[in-house]
Amino acid sequence: MSSRIADGATLRHSRLMDLVQQIQALNGMTTMECQTYMMWKYGLKWETTSNYVKELAMSQIIKQSDSKWVIKTLPRDFFG
C-alpha cells in the first residue's frame, strides 16, 4: 500500500477538521451550505455530510444558532 493514500479514519478526520474550520471561518453555515462545500471539495454525497454534521453536533463541537451551525467553544489547541 502506498504511504500517500490515507486510511479511512485519517481521511474522515481531515474532512471533519476541514468542515469545522470552514464553519468557523464563515461564522456559521447552514446544513445545505455544509453539504455544498463538502460536495465541491471532496465529492461527498449530501447524506454523508449530513451524518458528519450530526456527529459534530452530538459531540458538542458545533451547535445550531439562527438556523446555522456555529462552533462551540473549542480548546485552544483544537486545530493543532
The whole model's pTM is what? 0.85
- pLDDT value at position 7? 86
Q: What CATH topology corresponds to 21-71?
A: Arc Repressor Mutant, subunit A (1.10.10)
Domain extents for the chain? 21-71
The rounded distance, in Å, linking the Cα atoms of 50 and 52 is: 5
> Which tens digit of pLDDT belongs to each residue from 5-43?
678 899 999 999 999 999 999 999 999 999 999 999 999
The 10 Å Cβ neighbour count of residue 11 is 12
Transcribe 62-79 into DSSP letters. Answer: EEEETTEEEE----TTTT
Predicted confidence (pLDDT) per residue in 61-80, tens digit: 999 999 999 999 776 766 66
User: How far apart, in whole angstroms, are the C-alpha atoms of residue 8 and residue 44?
Assistant: 14
Residues 6+ apart with CB under 8 A from 34: 19, 22, 23, 49, 52, 53, 69
pLDDT of residue 63: 97
